[in-house]
C-alpha cells in the first residue's frame, strides 16, 4: 500500500508498565465517542461515576453519558465549579458525599472527565472511597493529556501549598481525545504546552529542537497543528510512561518531572490559585528560573537559557511573573521550604547542564537562589 492510501490509525496506544497495575494511554481523535467500547475491558460492573467541571460538562458530559448509556452502562455524575480553587478539602467532601449518596460500590468505576483539577480530585477521591476504587482518566486539557492524567499522582491543595495532601493511585486507563482540545481556550493550550516543553528540556534535546521548529504550528489550531499536537502528546506520554515505570514513587528519576515546579509552586502559592497565573504558566516561568539559576551556578551555558526564553517568547508563554502583586525573593523562598521535594530540610532543585540535561541538586547556594529570583522579579513586565 502506498503512503497516500494508508489509513491513519484511529489512536495510538502508549503503555505504562507497572506489573498488574499496568495500563494504556489512548491518544487520538473521537475517543469519547468510542468510550463504551474502550472502557469495557476495565469495567468490573456496568456502572461509572463521572466527575467533571462546569466548563467541561456542557461540552462533553451529555454525549459521553449518551455513549455509555447506549451500551447499558449506568452513569452518575458530579459537576465541580471550574478552576483550581475547587481542588480543596471542601470539594473533596462534596465529591465523596455524592459518590456515597449514589451508592457507589467497590466495583464502580470513577471517571475523571476534564483537566488536571478534575483528574487530581477524582483520582484522590477514588483512592479513598471505600478504601480505594478504580478510576479512568479522560483528560480534556493539553496539560492533563501530557502530564497530570498519567502517572497516578492525585491530590488536593491546602493552605500550606499545592498538592500537599494526596495519594499515588494509578488509573486503569487514560483516554486522551485530542478533539477536545479544539474547545480549549488558547491560554489554557499554551499553559499545557509548557509541560510539553518540559519533556524536551529535561531529557530530550532532539524533541526540544523539534518544538523550536514546529511548536508554533502545533499551537495554531490548524489541521497541521492538530497532527503536531498529537505528536507532542504521544512523545510526552511515552517519556512520562518510561519514567513512571522506572520510578513510580518519585525516589529518583521522576523528580526530574518537577523541572520548574519548585519555583512555579512558590509563585502559585503567592497568586492564590486565582486564575491570575495558571499552573502551566507558573511552570514556564519556573523553568526559565531553573535554567537561569543553573547558568548563575556555572553549570549551564547561557546560550541554552537564551533558547528557552526565545522559544517561550515566540509561542507566547510568560518568562517572568505577572506584575499584579509585590513579590520578594524571601516570600518565594518561604514557599519553597514547604515543597514536597524538601528532604531533611533541604529543597531538591531540578537544575540543567543544558537543554535536555536536567539533574537533581540539593546544593543550591542561597545567595545564587536569591540572585536568580531578584533578577526575575526585577524583570516583571
Catalytic residues: 131, 153, 195, 240, 250, 254, 258, 261, 265, 279
Q: What residues contact 198, with CB distance under 8 A and at least 6 apart?
A: 147, 257, 259, 260, 283, 287
Question: In the chain, helix, strand, coil percent, each to 5?
Answer: 55, 20, 30
Binding segment for ligand GLY (CB under 6 A), chosen from 145-153, 279-287, 288-296, 313-321, is 145-153
Q: State which of positions 103-122 bind ligand NAD (CB under 6 A).
A: 114-118, 120
Binding segment for ligand GLY (CB under 6 A), chosen from 130-138, 251-259, 281-289, 328-336, is 251-259
Q: How far is the CB of 236 from ligand NAD (least distance, A)?
A: 11
Distance CA 222, CA 86 (A): 32
Q: How far is the CB of 1 from ligand NAD (least distance, A)?
A: 34
HEC per residue, 138-203: EECCHHHHHHHCCCCEEEEEECCEEEEEEEECCCCEEEEEHHHHHHCCHHHHHHHHHHHHHHHHHH
Using CB under 6 A as the binding rule, whether residue 254 contacts ligand GLY is answered as: yes
Using CB under 6 A as the binding rule, whether residue 257 contacts ligand GLY is answered as: yes
Binding segment for ligand GLY (CB under 6 A), chosen from 4-12, 38-46, 59-67, 253-261, is 253-261
H or E element, residue 28: strand 23-28
> Judged by CB under 6 A, which of 47, 91, 153, 169 binds ligand GLY?
153
Q: How far is the CB of 104 from ligand GLY (least distance, A)?
A: 26
The alpha carbons of the chain give a radius of gyration, in whole angstroms, of: 20
Site size for ligand GLY (CB under 6 A): 7
Q: How far is the CB of 220 from ligand GLY (least distance, A)?
A: 26
Using CB under 6 A as the binding rule, whether residue 238 contacts ligand GLY is answered as: no
Characterize the bridge pairing of strands 153-158 and 161-168.
antiparallel
Three-state DSSP state, 366? helix
Distance CA 349, CA 370 (A): 14
If the CB atoms of residues 265 and 335 are measured against ligand GLY, the closer one turns out to be: 265
Using CB under 6 A as the binding rule, whether residue 123 contacts ligand GLY is answered as: no
Q: Nearest to residue 15, comparing CAs of 140, 126, 226, 174?
A: 174
96-127 burial string, b = 16+ CB within 10 Å, else e?
bebbeebebeeebbbbbbbbbbbbbbbbbbbb
Cell of 341: 521535594
171 binds, among ligand NAD, ligand GLY, none (CB under 5 to 8 A by kind): none
Among all residues, whose Cβ is closest to ligand NAD?
116
Using CB under 6 A as the binding rule, whether residue 147 contacts ligand GLY is answered as: yes
Residue 13 DSSP one-character state = E
Binding site for ligand GLY (CB under 6 A): 147, 151, 153, 250, 254, 257-258
Binding site for ligand NAD (CB under 6 A): 53, 55-56, 59, 82-84, 87, 114-118, 120, 140-141, 143-144, 147-148, 151, 153, 162-163, 180, 183-184, 188, 191, 279-280
Amino acid at each position: 500500500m502506498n503512503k497516500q492510501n494508508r489509513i491513519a490509525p484511529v489512536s495510538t496506544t502508549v503503555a505504562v508498565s507497572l506489573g498488574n497495575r499496568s495500563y494504556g494511554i489512548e491518544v487520538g481523535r473521537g475517543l469519547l465517542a468510542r468510550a463504551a467500547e474502550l472502557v469495557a475491558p476495565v469495567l468490573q460492573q456496568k456502572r461509572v461515576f463521572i466527575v467533571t467541571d462546569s466548563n467541561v460538562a456542557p461540552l462533553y458530559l451529555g454525549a459521553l453519558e449518551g455513549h455509555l448509556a447506549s451500551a447499558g452502562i449506568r452513569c452518575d455524575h458530579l459537576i465541580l465549579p471550574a478552576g483550581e480553587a475547587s481542588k480543596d478539602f471542601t470539594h473533596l467532601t462534596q465529591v465523596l458525599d455524592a459518590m456515597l449518596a449514589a451508592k457507589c460500590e467497590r466495583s464502580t468505576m470513577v471517571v475523571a472527565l476534564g483537566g488536571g483539577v478534575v483528574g487530581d480530585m477524582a483520582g484522590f477521591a477514588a483512592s479513598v472511597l471505600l478504601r480505594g476504587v478504580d478510576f479512568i482518566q479522560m483528560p480534556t486539557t493539553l496539560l492533563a493529556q501530557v502530564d497530570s492524567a498519567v502517572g497516578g499522582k492525585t491530590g488536593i491543595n491546602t493552605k500550606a501549598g499545592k498538592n500537599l495532601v494526596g495519594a499515588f493511585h494509578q488509573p486503569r486507563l487514560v483516554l486522551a481525545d485530542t478533539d477536545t482540545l479544539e474547545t480549549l481556550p488558547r491560554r489554557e493550550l499554551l499553559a499545557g504546552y509548557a509541560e510539553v516543553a518540559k519533556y524536551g528540556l529535561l531529557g530530550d534535546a532532539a524533541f526540544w529542537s523539534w518544538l523550536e521548529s514546529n511548536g508554533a504550528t502545533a499551537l495554531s489550531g490548524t489541521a497541521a497543528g492538530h497532527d503536531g499536537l498529537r505528536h507532542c502528546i504521544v512523545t510526552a506520554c511515552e517519556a512520562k510512561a518510561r519514567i513512571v515505570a522506572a520510578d513510580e514513587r518519585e525516589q529518583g528519576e521522576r523528580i526530574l518531572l518537577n523541572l520548574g515546579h519548585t519555583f512555579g509552586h512558590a509563585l502559585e502559592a503567592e497568586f492564590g490559585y486565582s486564575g491570575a497565573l495558571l499552573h502551566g504558566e507558573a511552570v514556564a516561568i519556573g523553568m526559565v528560573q531553573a535554567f537561569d539559576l543553573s547558568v548563575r551556578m556555572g553549570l549551564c551555558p547561557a546560550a541554552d537559557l537564551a533558547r528557552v526564553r526565545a522559544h517561550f517568547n515566540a509561542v507566547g508563554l510568560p518568562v517572568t511573573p505577572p506584575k499584579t502583586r509585590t513579590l520578594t525573593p524571601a516570600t518565594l523562598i518561604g514557599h519553597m521550604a514547604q515543597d514536597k521535594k524538601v528532604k531533611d530540610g533541604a529543597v531538591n532543585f531540578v537544575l540543567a547542564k543544558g537543554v535536555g540535561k536536567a539533574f537533581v541538586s540539593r546544593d543550591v547556594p542561597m545567595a545564587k537562589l536569591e540572585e536568580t529570583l531578584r533578577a526575575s522579579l526585577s524583570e516583571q513586565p
